A and B are shown apart, each in its own frame.
Chain A
Amino acid sequence: MRYLPLTPRDRSAMLAKIGAPDIDALFRDVPRQAVVPLSAFALPDTQGELGVERALAKLAARNVAAGAGPFFCGAGAYKHHVPASVDHLIQRSEFLTSYTPYQPEIAQGTLQYLFEFQTQVALLTGMEVANASLYDGSTAASEAVLMAQRVTRRPRVVLSGGLHPHYAATVETLAGLGGEVVRAPAEPGKSEELAALIDEGTACVVVQSPDVFGLVRDLKPIGEAAHARGALLIAVVTEAVSFGLLEPPGAQGADIVAAEGQSIGNGLNFGGPYVGLFATREKFVRQMPGRLAGETVDAAGKRGFVLTLSTREQHIRREKATSNICTNSGLCCLAFTIHLSLLGDEGFSRLARINHANASSLADRLSGVPGVSLVTPAFFNEFTLKLPKPAAPVVEQLAAKGILAGVPASRLFPGDARMRDLLIVAATETNTDEDFFAFASALTEVLS
């Protein structure tokens, strides 16, 4: 087996040194009935690189990649162009094959990029501090809610109806254990009235902007309503490129921002791994979940970085920790950090503007198709259309024509009749005028 360096001769010599007659002797603590022969595993035997690559390429070929044709799916995961240097750099052995930086003297590379990542996330969100990432946007949102429950010592959680339903379900699963989660009904294209749902027992209000339908929200009024009752405002963002054009949540009164960072540096990967961004105010830093990199000096007075404030964490605090989290999204943070560093202020702003311009142009074109109307008056790079018939079969028909037209709202809100005809459509810098034309004409054809 090409990955195993020991030879039969080595193994014999090692057993001799140990003083064991055979390998079985080393497993003597295993109950006899639990040792099974190889034949008990109905699985294939070892295979060369060529065979494995062939088998997996065959499975990959059964999928329709985003780059295979005109592509417009979003709803929490977005296709963007990732510069070639990003993927090259994250595959550097020293980044790819290192562990969590427990020995900071020989992990400054990881610690410094985490420090840069934290700074970038704080800048994008307009917040004071950010952690070294969580698993993804949805788990970041649920950690934000748990943190709000800890900070306010209140059980009740109010979720906007525009919050991505997978995020809402993730929050409900965790925050519902020791609290009460109230989910406002979704009102596509509108900012629902949430203030009335906030009472003296409310820990936080969770609002996504742009919301799952693409609508850009004004967070200020709901933030003021929350603060007036001692609750926190948690802002959720699933499209991180929007930070380049839209007012950051920190400037709108958010106390915690939980966002999905996949759009920057990371591929679609069928839903993971992604990178959860988590930022808050400095006064809450000791209530934050997750790893934090911090600046310090070494014994020779040189600047260096370490993991810090670990007294919040599970390996020190055990059952009293702020979270059970151990692993973060290290390599995905690195991809995010490198991509954002390549963009810089100017590149990031231009990228965001191109996204909005493309979405605007697509929205104009599609709402010109007979029977189709635009539901979201304000959006970044994603909007919702109302079709004259159920959206899900339309998406299937368009897929048969090689166009992945977006996400039918019914997939995210099953059983809600109001969602039946709605289609959530995203456009990014990767789309061309030809894509828009192809989509509009195919849609016209399918609807006629």
Chain B
Amino acid sequence: MTMNQTGRPTAPASSALFDAPTISGDRGLDHDEALIFELGREGVSGVDFADVRVSDARLGGQRRRAPVGLPGLSEPEIVRHYVRLSRMNYAIDSGLYPLGSCTMKHNPRLNEKVARLPGFGDLHPLAPQSAVQGALQLISELSRWLTVLTGMPAVAMSPKAGAHGELCGLLAIRAAVAARGEKRTRVLVPSSAHGTNPATAALAGFTVDEVPAKSDGHVDADALEAKLGPDVAAIMLTNPNTCGLFERRVKEIADRTHAAGAFFYCDGANFNAIAGRVRPGDLGVDAMHINLHKTFSTPHGGGGPGAGPVTLSAALAPYAPLPLLVHDKKGFRLIEDRDALPACAAPFGRLSAFHGQMGMFVRALAYMLSHGRDGVRQASEDAVLSANYILASLKDIMSAPFEGPCMHEALFDDSFLEGTGVTTLDFAKAMIDEGYHPMTMYFPLVVHGAMLIEPTESESKENLDRFISVLRALALAARAGERERFLQAPRLAPRRRLDETLAARKPVLRWKPKPLAHAAE
């Protein structure tokens, strides 16, 4: 035992005390935090405004009668509240975040800085177009990067997320089919697809026809061909696919799709594996959304905002939604209505107010300019290399359902846990105790107990090695019968396992004041 300068022991004599409850309920840096509604009181505010009185004369009789019911707190209290909440979150800045299909790569802070320049962050969407030329030029420049990287001629910039981009692509396809005077009502979707694909096809008014995956993880191209017919509007294919594999027969699938008069929608969620190396346009893709919040590193922000521009083939380009951006002698110009359309344009409609996720565009362009074409390609290669390194390092102990090489994510199933009494969920929760965010669990659906690991290009080899050794040790522990370690996990997170069944059975979706005790009547 060592002593500090006052002669007290610096190492614990006994560990029993560590597990004992503390007086406050907090544990060192681990604070619990009440809801803002439980902390506030009346007559306090974190903002100083004058108490201006206004008459009812111009309120049309609609003046609010009851107060809103917001709690009052000062600025220091608010700052502490949200700082404490933040400390209950795992984040890419604090550790490896191997969530497959989500591309949790480093978010450069330069991108945050430039998005906040007043010329972008404090710019009104309906300011006169003469006052927003730099913003329109930025959108045009980002569009150029996206069309060059995908090898496709056009891009619709307004979709606000990946699923919104899927909707954009399918509505363009719907319009193109209608323009040909055809009636095509079916969309083919592989069983391995993201849930958004079938949901979007249904939203766009199509019926969904599922195509099975083969035992090697690739879509069954023959089954797909058999399903093609004069009523098929499109196929929706994720490539690289959700099993982490590049669809080997993609070109053939595209050709057959086109021969049947249908369009090829590609889910671009996994573009980070191939950007700068493979152009989807060369593979026959007609429409593909690009998740700027994945491939081009705009921060995920706890679930958004995203941005999902959609690149379009020449056949679909005329149907891109409003607004359109054009460049002529007078400069850049937004076409916001059907009134002033160029001859070739036949937009299917509008997907949202204004012109898209400008804040994300600035960040994505900063990412692209920083990387350059060589850096984009190197990032894709490093992402694929890292995933293959994980696959190669773990496949002897965890079970990989498909032969490698993989693309930018490594897929395992739960057969290595067979007979251990440990499930994929338990395994994932044990990773939390080891300081890692778990991988994507139970997706894709075509693999039993799937574990989809996407390390991205942002990890050093040392970090990957450490991660690999932890997973190896966990797999060994599971097989060695250390079941409790898994079933009790997580023990060291801000919360133990949460009762999701209770949450769904008796939904409590907002805070409500406790009812006052009734006075005796």
Contacts and interface: CB of A to CB of B under 8 A. Distances in A.
A271 B305 contact: no
A71 B128 CA distance: 12
A122 B97 CA distance: 33
Interface string A305-341: 1101111011111111101111111111010011011
A388 interface: no
B365 A296 contact: no
A211 to B, nearest CB: 11
B381 A23 contact: yes
B86 A94 contact: yes
A103 B358 contact: no
A377 interface: yes
Interface stretch (B6-14, B223-231, B334-342, B414-422): B334-342
B203 A341 contact: no
Contacts of B345: none
Interface string B441-462: 0010000000000000111110
Interface string B262-281: 00000000000010111100
For the complex of A and B, 10 pairs with smallest distance between CB atoms: A271-B354, A60-B119, A62-B134, A378-B60, A331-B301, A173-B349, A271-B125, A273-B305, A93-B93, A342-B46
Contacts of A196: none
B282 A272 contact: no
Contacts of B309: none
B437 A106 contact: yes
B352 A92 contact: no
B54 A102 contact: no
B202 A320 contact: yes
Nearest to A359: B58
Given A3-B371, A34-B278, A105-B498, 17 more contacts: A1-B379, A18-B404, A34-B279, A36-B277, A44-B369, A66-B127, A97-B104, A99-B99, A105-B494, A115-B509, A119-B35, A251-B66, A272-B160, A272-B359, A326-B194, A330-B302, A331-B302
B354 A272 contact: yes
A33 B124 CA distance: 45
A327 B502 contact: no
A283 to B, nearest CB: 12
A42 interface: yes
A119 B204 contact: no
B85 A108 contact: yes
B97 A4 contact: no
B302 A93 contact: no
B120 A169 contact: no
17 contacts: A1-B379, A45-B372, A52-B114, A57-B114, A63-B131, A93-B94, A95-B302, A98-B302, A106-B493, A268-B125, A269-B121, A311-B504, A327-B293, A331-B304, A338-B82, A354-B50, A396-B128
B498 A306 contact: yes
Contacts of B78: 85, 338, 341-342
Contact of B68 (A3, A47, A124): A124
Select the residue from A3, A132, A166, A218 with max chain B CB neighbours within 10 A. A3
A244 B510 contact: no
Interface in B347-362: 348-360, 362
Nearest to B350: A169
B385 A15 contact: yes
B205 A177 contact: yes
A89 B79 contact: yes
B452 to A, nearest CB: 12
B32 to A, nearest CB: 8
Contacts of B288: none
A43 B145 contact: yes
A292 B196 CA distance: 17
A228 interface: no
Contacts of A64: 123, 127, 131-132
B88 A112 contact: yes
Nearest to A44: B372
A120 B51 CA distance: 23
Interface string B376-404: 01110110111011011100000000001
Given A105-B490, A404-B124, A342 B75 contact: yes
Nearest to B109: A91
Contacts of B377: 38
Contact of A170 (B203, B336, B353): B353
B121 A267 contact: yes
A195 B204 CA distance: 30
Interface in B495-521: 495-500, 502-504, 507-511
A178 B352 contact: no
Interface string A55-85: 1111111111111100101011101000101
B326 interface: no
Contacts of B124: 66, 71, 73, 77, 79, 268, 270, 404
Interface stretch (A5-13, A151-159, A197-205, A434-442): A5-13
A344 interface: yes
A135 B351 CA distance: 11
B328 interface: no
Interface in A157-208: 164, 166-167, 169-170, 172-174, 176-178
A404 B37 contact: no
Given A45-B373, A342-B45, A77 B354 contact: yes
B128 to A, nearest CB: 5
B500 to A, nearest CB: 5
Interface string A106-140: 11111011111011101110000110110111110
A316 B113 CA distance: 37
A216 B372 contact: no
A138 B135 contact: no
B481 interface: no
A417 interface: no
A93 B94 CA distance: 8
Interface in A288-307: 291-300, 302, 304-306
A174 B203 contact: yes
A225 interface: no
Contact of A357 (B54, B61, B97, B200): B54
A41 B147 CA distance: 10
Contact of B94 (A17, A27, A94): A94
A17 B353 contact: no
Contacts of B205: 177-178
A372 interface: no
A217 interface: yes
A319 to B, nearest CB: 4
Contacts of B504: 294, 308-311
B3 interface: no
Interface string B175-199: 0000000000000000000111011
